[in-house]
Structure 1
Amino acid sequence: MVTFLVRRFARMIFVLVVTTFGALVAVTEWGDPFKIIGDRMQTPEARAMLNETFGLDQPLVVRYLRFVGNLATGDLGIDFERRRPVFDQLAAAAPNTFRLALAALAIQVVFGVTLGIVAAWLHRSFTDMVITAAAIVITIVPLFVLGVVLRHTLSGVSVFGWEAFPLIPRSIGIETSWLQDLFLPAITLGVGALAYTVGLARGSMLEALGADYVRTARAKGLTERKIVFKHAARNAMIPVAELSAMQLGALMGGSVMIEAIFQYPGLGYLFVRSMNENNHPVMLAITLYSVAAFVVVLMLADVVTAWLDPRIRTGD
């Protein structure tokens, strides 16, 4: 088990190093961030001074080593646009993204697992056909199309006098609660990934229902409901748990497209604004956080899976 953990940790460090260096190269190719500040074109002298101040005149390798060294002290740099610490901006946006990830995952798991189990239980029935067909249709529809449709359909709609879905684009001076901000992007992300969970839960459940221990349970006279939900479902949920861990890791890094569509104040929307401003430090910090969140969650999922099934760690 120790060897397995060391290999997984080394793989995680390698991924972080390669990704952060690639991100630094990418934002460098994005262009000079000080060419235009506000609506004014900067003089070559002013641009040279700003590049020197922020160390952008240094070679790429030097800038990367300095970036890695600053990470050891928790320094993510200074925002080019507002001259604020990047860490403060991530600290404000990350909880919103984490809340969105949990809400979307809850929708995906609760409804996906329930529908998958029902479809497997009623295998080859009309209900199974409807659930399977709906899952296929949802899979075909691109996520951004679903987001745009929900935005145009529900934006500004009130429920019993309460504006459950705030108007988008946002109006200046109009304050909304975190729950109002959360509804539409969480529904979009949750429903978008629902089909995969339904298909995986249904397939795993069908496999479990054909296992020997289920036949034994039936031979003992247990009710079908008890067999399905107490015995088969428990074992069928292992692949769903692995998929959910990957989904959570990806969502914790921020969903750029969906957060931008709904102007949700998370890491994804912050990244889009940083791209428009050519704000290198913020883009780098969000990339690092997103990749780190994803690989850490995946590593934890691998560790738990290896602990449950020793064949995984011995075969690594």
Structure 2
Amino acid sequence: MGKFLLRRVANAVFVVLVTTFGALVAVTEWGDPFRMIGPRMQTPEARAMLNETFGLDKPLFVRYLVYVGNLFSGDLGIDFERRRPVIDLLAEAAPNSLRLALVALAIQVVVGVSLGIVAARLRHSFVDTTITFAAITITVLPLFVLGVWIRDAFSGRSIFGWEAFPLIPRSIGIETTWLQELILPAITLGVGALAFTVVLARGAMIEVLDADYIRTARAKGLTERRVLFKHAARNAMIPVAELSAVQLGALMGGTILVEAIFQYNGLGYLFVRSMNENNHPVMLAVTVYSVALFVIVLMLADILTAWLDPRIRTFD
């Protein structure tokens, strides 16, 4: 297990370093962020001074080494627009994205696995056909379409006098709670990823239910509930756990599309605003943070999968 962990950590570090270099090239090498500030065109002298101030006058490889070194100290640069440390902007947005990711993942896993187990248990029945058809329909529906429909259908609506879903676009001067801002994007993300979990859980459960050890457990006189949840569900959840880890990594990194649709103040919406401002340090920090978080979650998923099935680390 020690060698398995060491390989996974080394792979994660390598991917983060390579991705950081690619992000630095993509963000800083295309276009001059100081050509326009506000409505005014900057002189070459002013742009040269700004480039020197923010370290953009150094060679690419030097900037990369400096940036990687600063990552370990938490120095992600200064925001071009508001002259604030980028780490402060991430600290404000990351908890919102984490909250959104966890709620969306809970919807995806709890509802998706439950529907998948029911469909597998009642395979080839009307219930199975209905669940599978609904899952496939949701799969082919673009997330953008689903998000816009949910936003237009529910934003500004009240439930028993409580404005559960605030109006989008946001109105100036009207305050909303974190729960009001969270509900619609969490439902969109959870339902959008639900179909994959349903189909995967159903297929895994069907495969496990046909295994010899399940027939042996039934022959011993165990109840169907115990066979289903204690013996079958654990092995069937291995691919679901891997998918959930991928989904969690992507969601925690910031789902740009959904956060932009609902103007949810997470990492994705921060990235969109930074693109509009051509704000290199924030764009780069969000990209590196998202990739690093995604890789770490995948690494933890590999470790969890190896713990659930020792054969994986044996033949890795």
Decide: shared fold, TM above 0.5. yes
Matched, 1:270 2:307: no
Change (3 A) 1:229 1:8: closer
Q: Are residues 1:252 and 2:252 paired? A: yes
Whole-Å Cα distance in 2 between the matches of residues 202 and 310 of structure 1?
23
1:305 match? 305
Counterpart Cα distance in 2 of 1:93 and 1:120 = 40
CA drift at 1:222 = 3.3
Q: What are the residue-to-residue correspondences of 1:1-316 with 2, within 5 Å?
A: 1-316=1-316
Distance 1:285 1:154 in 2: 33
Q: 1:120, 1:17 → 2: CA distance?
A: 42
Q: Return the alpha-carbon distance in structure 1 between the equivalents of residues 217 and 21 of structure 2.
A: 55
Moved segments of 4+, more than 6 Å: none
Cα drift, residue 162 of structure 1: 1.1
Equivalent position amino acid for 2:45 in 1: E
Cα distance in 1 between the residues matched to 2:148 and 2:43:
41
Q: Once the two structures are superposed, what CA deviation does each residue of 1:200-238 show, in whole Å capped at 9, x if it has no partner? A: 110111112112222123223333333323332232222
RMSD: 1.3
Distance 1:2 1:202 in 2: 33
CA contact (8 A) 2:90 2:286 kept: yes
* Secondary structure of the corresponding residue to residue 91 of structure 2: helix
Deviation of 1:153 after TM superposition, in Å, equals 0.9
Asked if the contact 2:94/2:267 (under 8 Å) is kept, the reply is: yes
Report the Cα distance in structure 2 between the residues aligned to 1:223 and 1:314, rounded to whole angstroms. Answer: 33
Contact 2:241 2:305 survives alignment (8 Å): no
Alpha-carbon displacement from aligned partner over 1:175-216 (angstroms, at most 9, x marks no partner): 111101101110011001100000011011111211222212
SS of 2:173's partner is coil
Moved more, 34-43 or 260-269: 34-43
The answer on whether the counterparts of 1:30 and 1:278 sit within 8 Å (CA) in structure 2 is: no
8 Å contact from structure 1 (residues 107, 190) kept in 2: yes
Residues 40-66 of structure 1 show CA distances to partners (whole Å, capped at 9, x for unaligned) of 222222111111111111111111111
Matched residues in 1 for 2:307 and 2:203: separation? 24
Report the 3-state secondary structure (helix = DSSP H, G, I; strand = E; otherwise coil) of the residue aligned with 1:173: coil
Distance 1:50 1:89 in 2: 21
- What TM-score results when the alignment is normalised by the length of structure 1? 0.97
Contact 2:86/2:282 (8 A) holds in 1: yes
Q: Structure 1 stretches of 5 or more lacking a match?
A: none
Q: Which runs of 5+ in 2 are unaligned?
A: none
Give the aligned length.
Answer: 316
CA–CA separation in structure 1 for the residues paired with 2:122 and 2:103: 28
Query: What is the letter of the counterpart of residue 56 of structure 2?
Result: L
Structure 1 residue 86 displacement after superposition: 0.3
Q: Structure 1, residues 130-169: CA drift from partner, whole Å, max 9, x if none?
A: 0000000000001111001111111111111111111111
* Aligned counterparts of 1:125 and 1:215: Cα–Cα separation in 2: 21
Shift in Å at residue 29 of structure 1?
3.4
